[in-house]
Every structure is written in C-alpha cells, then in structure tokens.
Structure 1
Amino acid sequence: MPGAGVSQLEREDIIIDTKPLLVAALKEGIQLHRTKKDSLLVGMAALFLLVVLAPSAEGKNTLRCTVVDEAGNLVQKGGEMVLQSISTAKEWKQKTNDKGIVEFKGLNDGSYQLRGNLPGFLIATSAPIELAGNQVESCQHTLPSVEFYNALLQGALQAADQKKFAEAEQKGKQAVALSPQEGVAYYALALTYAAQGKTEEAVAAAEKAAQFDPEKFKDAVAQVRIESLRAQAYAATEKLDFPAALGIYEKILSIAPNNATVYFDIALVYGNQQKFDESLKAIDKAIELDPERPQYQQMKIRLQDLYLKSMDEALELPK
C-alpha cells in the first residue's frame, strides 16, 4: 500500500545514500550513534583525543630569585616573599633559603610581580616578570632597608635646599628606582625639581606620587606647582627682574589665592623697588591670612621704618 511502509530495498538505498552525510557530519564534529557499540567506540575515541590533545592546566614554569638589600647583601633566611599574577591577582608565598633565594614552581605562562614582606624592609614591588615556555626564570630583586631609604629621601631634600641640584636629582631618582611603587619617592623627586623651577618635571613626578598614594599626596600636584613657580620668582628677583617676579606670583595666586607666603614674597619685591604703599598692602594681606607668623609682623615693622625714612629723605630740603 502506498505510504504504508518502505520496502527492504528502499531502506537499504536510504542507508547507502546517507553514508556521505555521515562522513560530512563526522568532519563537522557531530557525533552520530547508529548502535550502542558504535556509540561506545566514538565516545572512547573522543576521550582519547581529549586526553592527547588538550593542553595541561598545570603550569611548569619556575621563578627563582635572589633577594638582596640595597648594598647587595643577601637577605636573611626565612624572609617571606610574595609573588602575584598580574592577570588573576592570585598570590603565592615562599620564604628565602640560606642563600637568599626564593623559588616558585608550577607557574602558568603570564606576567608576575614579586614583592617583599620582611620586617625593616620596604615592600618594593618588582617590575613585571614574564614567564613562558615551561622555563626556569632567574632574577635578582632588591629590598631596600627602611633606614637606608629614609636617609636617601632626606639626603635628596637637603641637597635641594643647599642648591646641590645634581646630587638631589640623583638621590631622588635612586629612591624611585629602588621602589617604583612608593609615592613618597616620587614626591621627594618632585620637590627637587620644584626647587629648580622645573615645573613640568615637578608636576609629572607629583602626579606619580598621587597615583601610588592618593590619600597622602592628593594635593601634591598643586603644592609642587606652586613651589616650582616660587623658585622661578626667586630667580627673577635675584636678577632684579621685578616685573617678571610679580607676574609669576600672580600665576601662583591664581592657583592658591589665599597663600600667605606668596603675599609676603610680593611685599619683599615691592619693598626692593621702594614701592612701600604696595609693599605694606601685601604684607597686611599676609598677616590677615596667617596672623600667627611672627616673621610677617617683623617684616611689616621693617617696611614701615623704611617707608618713614624714605618720606623724611623726600621732605628734606636742600641746603
């Protein structure tokens, strides 16, 4: 009967006709199960391919680092070091051996950073360390002692105060190199630039300080910019270029309109030109903003004396 079924010949023809489809399906990764036996064979084959072809999840890289202090001396045995994956933030902790070496095994390919966790030393996070290809990677990591680091920063600031700018910059840059993630190092370097009137360099270093320690150095950029401009104004005053100095002080006041020190400096510039009216106005503003500063009161008395003396000289009749 038509439509009642399919003859044996017709079924065989269908099976034969579907073989190309089966081959194509297998090529496309589609599992077709014709019998339980075929299904089992296909499953075992797939499992075999999975075992053979799938990459191992276990990393085989090893990082072996020698840890030293600022003088190149090995750190003490048992010092804890922390390795962190940059991509996953996962951490591993190991301790140094009697040769100052710390070793991390079984690491996947990727970028890592090493830091210290030793009493009396800075954390000192390393630059990124790249691991790949199931290799053993070696490095040397420096942990500056807190005592040495503080002395280095103080030395940079003292050298800047003494106008030993080359020495100040060298020490500031050394502090940054020893611990690139310490905001205070960038701030010290910023101050050495500011003392020379290098505004762009000072601001860039201050921005780095704020980046690494925003709570402590959130106002550092404005402060450093002001100090750098003041250094430029001082240089102009020493050259007796009073208009240039006053122009720079006006820039500072646009940043910090209530800076008493700037008004004190302006009073000195006008005083050096014997413009005592303007000088006394500026010193009065400084006193208004910071009435507890005795230097301001003393300077006002001195300016008043100079003003009266200039008036007496002006009123003196020729003989």
Structure 2
Amino acid sequence: MTTFADALAASPDLFARLLPTVYFNKHLALTPPLRPSSLHRALTGFRTARIHIGALQSCAGSAVVRIGHSVVACGITPYLVSTDTDVAACGTLFTNVDVAGRRDGMPLAEYVALSRWLFTTANGVGLYEPTDLRVLNPIDGSETGLAFALQAQIQVFAPTAPSQPPQDVVWACLISALASTMIPRLALAPEDDINFITAATAKFSHVGATKLQLQYDIENLPWCVNFGIAHPSGLVLADLDGRVEEVSVDGHIMIIACAPSANDMQDEPKLVAMELSTGLTDITRAQIQQCISLTQKRAYELSAILKTQLQR
C-alpha cells in the first residue's frame, strides 16, 4: 500500500506544491545546500539574463527582458500635456503592469501594487530630468507651453502564478526601454503660428528625434535585485525564483543600486533604494553587506548586457 510519504518521494513536484517550506528546507539541509528552483545554480547565483531593445516599432522606446523563465515586455509612449493646466504630469513617467493576454476581470491586486511601486520609485530616484521633456520651438528654442509625459505599458509573460509578479525583471525591462527611448521633434509648417499650437494640434516628427537623457551613465544604471533569508540557517538566496523560494524564505531584501566603475569593482555601489521585511529572525548587517556586494556584481553584468544591445 502506497503511503503519503511514498507519494511525495515519488513526485517532487507534488511535494513542492503541498509542502513548499518542508521541500525548501530539505534542500538547504543538504551538504552543500541546494536551491529547489535549480540544482545547478548556487544560492548566491543569478539566472541568465537576456535583453532585447527596439522590439516594438510603434513605441518611442521598448525592450523585452528575459531572466530565467520570466519574460517581460515594455513599451514607452510619449504624449503631450500642457505646462499650464497639467503641471503635475509634465515630465512624469506613468507605469502600468499587467499579465500579458489577460482581458477579463479587474486588474490583479498584486500587479496594481507593483504598478504603484514602480511609479513611485522610478519618479523618485530621478531616472531623467523632467524639464528635459519640455517641448521647445525648434526655430528659436523658446517655450511652447507643452511638455511630454511618458507612459510605460508593461506586460508580464510569466509561467509562475500571476500573483507573484517578477519585480526585478519588470524594473530591468523599464530601465532598458527608457535607455532606448527617442523623444520626437516638434514639426512646424510655414503657416503654423507657434502661439496657437496646442496638445491637440501639435505635429511631431521622428526625423531628428532626440535620445532621452538619463541621469545615469549606461555603465552605471540602477538595477533591482531581490534576496531571501532562510530560517534558521540565515543563508542568503539571491534572485528568488518560483513559488517555493518566494513563500519559504523568512526575510526579504530588495536593493536597487548602480554598478561600480569598470576600473574599480571594489567601489561600493551607489544605493538607490532598499526595502527589508523580516520574519522569525532579524536581518543582520553582514547579510545586508553580502546582498550589497552581490547587487554590485549583478548591476555590472546587466549594464554590460544593455550596453552591448544599445551599440548594435
């Protein structure tokens, strides 16, 4: 007669679904410890990352990022607002994250929360100077009373449960799309009067479009990395992947940081943002320092991948 234990032993997938924390701890108890999402990836190792820019021709900037099995696409669209009546929107980056192909029902709460976090963080860290998106008269450089706002539409193609949006992959895709964004140029016909041009009547041309100037060099862009702290071992897991790891770690650390200069990898990365959540045990300073060091290496790697794409 087959027992419940026999069934679990015969089906690791069933074991992981029914008892994820037990399954997780069994792997970490091995010598050396193994992570359940990938037996070939070290606890502090990262998934393979691929970045492709310019995939969406109808957008001013776009990117598709694949990290592990998570795929995210982002398109950046500029639209006109008035500097008189829409002051808060001028130069602002608006974000919307959703599951690709999902058309029915209300947006998932977790993705709404991610959209809000992305909006707050992206605008808060100063990825670009909002005043750079003012529309100037191409003839004399004077103000036109118009400015661009940017809309980032992000679609997640994730094999995991939709309730677990890949925060780090979404951030990487947004950064990559912004790095490739071109701002169109105001086109004036001889009969146009600049004093009467509005957001509804203005015409733009992609000929002579200018690149969005980011506040960070391509080699030093801010990247997001997620970590988990296992209980009671205190082991640090980098780049969490899958439901088992997400629900089984005791503490979470999210770091957004810039890569160091290529000449000195020992430089401390510039920390842009950090979020901590603890469980049964406190997160120690040593664990935070380890995560910062790993973030430095990951940011350098992702910046190098993006730079290669932009040079093509």
Length-normalised TM-score, structure 2: 0.22
* Bigger helix fraction: 1
Normalised by the size of structure 1, how large is the TM-score?
Answer: 0.22
* Structure with a larger share of its residues in strand: 2
- Relative contact order (C-alpha < 8 Å, sep 6+): which is higher? 2
Determine which structure has more spread, i.e. the larger CA radius of gyration. Answer: 1
